[in-house]
Amino acid sequence: MGAADIVPGVSGGTVALVFGIYERLLDNIRRCAKVVGSVLRLDIAAARRHLFDVEWGFLIPLGAGVAVALGALASVIQGLLETRPEEMAGLFFGLVAGSIVVAWSLLRHRSAVELAIMAGVGAITFFLLGFQSGPVAEPSTLAFFGAGAIAICAMILPGISGSFLLLMMGMYTAVLGAVHDRSGADLVNLGVFFIGAVVGITVFSTALGWLLDNYHDRLLAVLIGLMVGSFRVLWPWPNGVGIISDVEGESVSGTGLALPAADGVLGPMALAVIAFAVVVGVSWLAPRVEPAPGVLSDTGH
């Protein structure tokens, strides 16, 4: 999930969905939100009760894995996005395509309504992802707070990339640079970004969980539409994964669409097929290796 969250166009929520832990993750985030809400109301007794409801044995290893990936892979993935954009785009194109198949299998009922929702959300997302902003020069502390609050909401939505939202806000270079450099000022900015993320996910997870409980299939249809629309920033040609380097070496967005050159098809397509096969294989294997409570479907996923 941490590696996916670094890449514009790919969401950590997509990975959680593939591994069959999405609803369990969302449920635990909602429990943590109750802890935060109780603390803000100065109801310490309620906060203590809610703390015991959280599956810390699930969240702590998951959070540690995300943190390690963000710290260790930020510069590696950023480099690959800039030097091998088409191959990386093909890889993540296949990952998201496989995730769409997995999400489709989790629908309990398939009707014209769900199909219409998928098509509409996919078209709107495809259109909106064409907008982008250049990097913000010397962003303020408040900008880091707002970026954290907005990006974290996207990171738990399959198909919506928190990294790409940062890119659209012009904050992607600043946040990734702070993660990579980790100087004194960078650590302060990352702390503010983290506080914003906590506030954002506290509010958003509650709303998303309610929708999942009451409108399961329609919410999944929306998520599938988001993943379909995200193909705009995962199309390998000409720029790949929505990232190119400008003449000054800074990362900027590229969402141009074109047909591939004859000699540039094999690598991205091969990686897409491999990623697709891995995702579908993992989605089949994961619940059989370690069945998780709070699953999305009645069929074992």
101 class by beta-carbon count within 10 Å (0-12 exposed, 13-18 middle, 19+ buried): middle
Residue 297, in any domain of the structure: no
Mean pLDDT is highest, among 72-86, 209-223, 230-244, for 209-223
The CA-atom distances, in angstroms, between 291 and each of 27, 62, 82 are 16, 16, 38
Number of domain units in the chain: 1
Cα dihedral 38/43/44/48 (nearest 10): -50
Residue 294, in any domain of the structure: no
Residue 296, in any domain of the structure: no
DSSP class of residue 14 equals: H
Residue 80, in any domain of the structure: yes
**Domain range for 52:** 2-289
Above pLDDT 70, what percent of the chain?
83
Q: Which residues of 121-136 are buried (b: 16+ CB within 10 A; e: fewer)?
A: bbeebbeebeebeebe
User: Which stretch of 16-20, 77-81, 115-119, 239-243 has the lowest confidence by average pLDDT?
Assistant: 239-243
Mean pLDDT of 40-52: 87
Average pLDDT, the chain: 79
Helix-then-strand count for the chain, H and E: 14, 2
Residue 277, in any domain of the structure: yes
- Residue 120 CB coordination number (10 Å): 13
Q: ∠ CA(128), CA(134), CA(140), 5° rounding?
A: 110
Residue 133, in any domain of the structure: yes
48 has a pLDDT exceeding 80 = yes
Residue 298, in any domain of the structure: no
Please tell me the distance from the alpha carbon of residue 266 to that of residue 202, in angstroms, as a whole number: 44
Cis peptide before 8 (omega within 30 of 0): no
Q: How many residues does the chain have?
A: 301
Mean pLDDT of 144-150: 89
